[in-house]
């Protein structure tokens, strides 16, 4: 069983790709997503339940290679260290690629107070936030906002996808900035064949919370600034 091989692109590389119009989509696979794939019961740390349909959607996304970036954490990260045997067994059992992208790029930049270049680039584009209603307080110029439920947003998957298609009718080449928990991975996978070459679909995870005064992750305490702009 081989180790995961993580490609670590810098924030600048992603910003440059957006600036040049180079499309990419990016999903993040943490312990919640992996646990759901493995058939865990209950819910993740944010209270989103591990629905069987969600688990099947995540498994489908893993087993298909559509060309977008799948990102996770190194085994040295606490969230992956404790499930390393299960991750390796699953990838080996289904002969899945171990060439992944490094999921830490957004949170590392946010913790270091170096996220401004990303914000500046996003504000030049047709940015659409796909997240909970409280993120409307973020001081980011945007073209749209798709509100999702604060828990079990997977149950609103079809409505979210419909809202995304409405955005596609309004804007050329929008950026869908997801903070929608495990549902993100399924939505991106299901939408990619339809719109993947016409937009960016990027999972930014939980990087925004400290900028609206919420601290929901241990790494949030390491932010060097609570000011986004």
Q: What strands lie across the sheet with 25-29, from one edge to the other?
A: 5-7, 99-102, 69-72, 25-29, 200-203, 175-178, 127-131, 144-147
| Contact indicator for 193, 66 with CB cutoff of 8 Å | yes
Q: Write phi, then psi, for 114 (nearest 5 degrees).
A: -120, 30
- pLDDT band at residue 40 under the 50/70/90 scheme: confident
pTM surpassing 0.85? yes
End-to-end CA distance of the chain: 45
% of the chain surpassing 90 pLDDT: 80
| Contact indicator for 172, 126 with CB cutoff of 8 Å | yes
Work out the average pLDDT over 181-203: 97
Alpha carbons 142 and 133: distance in angstroms, whole number: 14
Calculate the CA 136 to chain-centre distance: 18
2 or 174: which leads in pLDDT: 174
Work out the average pLDDT over 194-214: 92
40 or 195: which leads in pLDDT: 195
pLDDT-wise least confident of 113-117, 119-123, 158-162, 165-169: 113-117
**Burial letters 16-48, b for 16+ CB under 10 A, else e:** eebeeeebbbbbbbbbbbbbbbbebeebbeeeb
């Amino acid at each position: 069983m081989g180790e995961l091989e993580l490609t670590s692109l810098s924030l600048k590389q992603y910003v440059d790709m957006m600036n040049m119009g180079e499309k990419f989509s990016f999903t993040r696979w943490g312990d919640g997503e992996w646990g759901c794939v493995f058939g865990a019961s209950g819910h993740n740390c944010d209270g989103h339940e591990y629905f069987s349909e969600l688990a099947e959607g995540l498994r489908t996304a893993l087993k298909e290679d559509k060309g977008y970036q799948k990102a996770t954490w190194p085994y040295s990260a606490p969230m992956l260290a404790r499930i390393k045997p299960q991750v390796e067994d699953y990838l080996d059992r289904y002969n899945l690629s171990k060439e992944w992208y490094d999921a830490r790029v957004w949170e590392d930049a946010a913790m270091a107070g170096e996220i401004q270049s990303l914000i500046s680039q996003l504000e030049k584009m047709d940015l659409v936030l796909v997240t909970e209603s409280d993120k409307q307080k973020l001081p980011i110029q945007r073209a749209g906002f798709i509100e999702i439920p604060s828990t079990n947003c997977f149950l609103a998957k079809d409505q979210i996808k419909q809202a995304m298609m409405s955005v596609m009718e309004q804007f050329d080449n929008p950026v869908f900035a997801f903070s929608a928990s495990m549902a993100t991975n399924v939505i991106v996978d299901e939408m990619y064949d339809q719109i993947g070459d016409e937009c960016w679909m990027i999972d930014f995870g939980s990087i925004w919370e400290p900028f609206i005064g919420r601290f929901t992750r241990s790494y949030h305490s390491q932010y060097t600034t609570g000011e986004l702009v």
